[in-house]
């Protein structure tokens, strides 16, 4: 393939660089999302490989920047250590596949090949559904029992995140960092304010979709697997 892969961080692990070279991928390493934007080929990045094992937070922020834009970069593969497996949870939208380091070069190569083979196949609109609530991720529209909910952008993002993870309890801090991003200034109180607004819009009947878990945070609905 001739297209260019974005690789993070700027001086990627030697093993990774060698594997990509030997497998015949063209790639360019970048140190920030801004740099990724600057060096992006006109046809867009063909995909990205992100090593999370050095500075995990920065790496996830990088993934987030690449995925949350008009034309999200995909496929995106992350390299993590065994100890970081828990980080994958709640970030399913940020990557397409992962490898646990250290790993055999053949594994990276095989996974990448599969990702590219799969790419572009699936164009179904993504829908998140919980009880009578439906979110169409493609059109950004939310409905409850068929009636459209008029949400502001942040309310929509918050509801989407919660509805994608029913039954899970989130702290305000988690919600703030995952929905608003790390750089948001307002503090966890912002979360309370938005939750209250979402409940108001969901209406009396459905306000209890979002439950306050005392001195912890919030939970949306029931897990599909809970008793």
d(CA 47, CA 66): 10
Q: Is 206 in the site for other proteins (CB under 8 A)?
A: no
Q: Is 190 in the site for other proteins (CB under 8 A)?
A: yes
Minimum separation from the CB atom of position 138 to other proteins (A):
9
Specify whether the CB–CB gap between 152 and 195 falls below 8 A.
Answer: no
35: enclosing H helix or E strand: helix 33-38
Binding other proteins by CB under 8 A: which of 83, 169, 186, 223? 186
Q: Based on the number of CB atoms within 10 Å of its own CB, is 96 exposed (0-12), middle (13-18) or buried (19 or more)?
A: buried
Pattern of binders to other proteins over 86-125, x per CB under 8 A?
A: ----------------------------------------
Q: What single DSSP character describes residue 95? A: -
Q: Is 140 in the site for other proteins (CB under 8 A)?
A: yes
d(CA 50, CA 59): 7
By CB under 8 A, what part of segment 155-174 binds other proteins?
155-156, 172
Determine the interface stretch with other proteins among 78-86, 100-108, 114-122, 135-143 (rule: CB under 8 A).
Answer: 135-143
d(CA 181, CA 57): 11
Q: Is 141 in the site for other proteins (CB under 8 A)?
A: yes
Q: How many residues bind other proteins (CB under 8 A)?
A: 29
Determine the interface stretch with other proteins among 22-30, 95-103, 192-200, 210-218 (rule: CB under 8 A).
Answer: 192-200
Q: Which residues face 142 on adjacent strands?
A: 135, 149
Minimum separation from the CB atom of position 195 to other proteins (A):
10
- How far from 24 is each of 4, 17, 37, 212, CA to CA, in Å? 11, 11, 23, 52
Binding other proteins by CB under 8 A: which of 185, 215, 225, 226? 185
Residue with smaller CB distance to other proteins, 111 or 160: 160
Q: Please list, residue by residue across 1-30, b when 16 or more beta carbons sit within 10 angstroms of its beta carbon and e when fewer do.
A: eeebbbbbbeebbebbeebbeeeebebebb
Q: Is 41 in the site for other proteins (CB under 8 A)?
A: no
Q: Is 68 in the site for other proteins (CB under 8 A)?
A: yes
Peptide bond into 9 cis (omega under 30): yes
Question: Which residues of this chain interact with other proteins, rule CB under 8 A?
Answer: 68-70, 139-141, 148, 150-156, 172, 181, 185-190, 193, 196-197, 199-201, 203
């Amino acid at each position: 393939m001739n297209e260019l892969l974005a690789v993070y961080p700027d001086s990627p692990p030697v093993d990774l660089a060698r594997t990509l070279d030997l497998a015949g991928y063209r790639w360019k390493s970048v140190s920030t999302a801004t740099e990724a934007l600057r060096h992006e080929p006109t046809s867009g990045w063909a995909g990205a490989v992100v090593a999370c094992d050095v500075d995990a937070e920065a790496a996830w922020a990088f993934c987030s920047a690449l995925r949350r834009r008009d034309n999200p970069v995909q496929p995106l593969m992350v390299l993590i250590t065994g100890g970081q497996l828990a980080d994958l949870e709640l970030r399913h939208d940020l990557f397409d596949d992962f490898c646990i380091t250290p790993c055999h070069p053949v594994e990276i190569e095989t996974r990448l090949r599969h990702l590219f083979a799969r790419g572009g196949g699936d164009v179904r609109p993504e829908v998140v559904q919980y009880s009578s609530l439906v979110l169409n991720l493609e059109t950004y529209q939310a409905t409850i029992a068929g009636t459209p909910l008029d949400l502001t952008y942040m309310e929509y993002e918050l509801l989407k995140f919660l509805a994608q993870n029913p039954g899970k309890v989130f702290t305000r801090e988690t919600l703030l960092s995952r929905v608003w991003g790390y750089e948001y200034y307002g503090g966890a109180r912002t979360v309370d304010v938005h939750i209250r607004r979402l409940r108001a819009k969901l209406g009396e009947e459905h306000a209890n979709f979002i439950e306050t878990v005392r001195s912890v945070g919030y939970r949306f609905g029931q897990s599909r697997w809970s008793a």
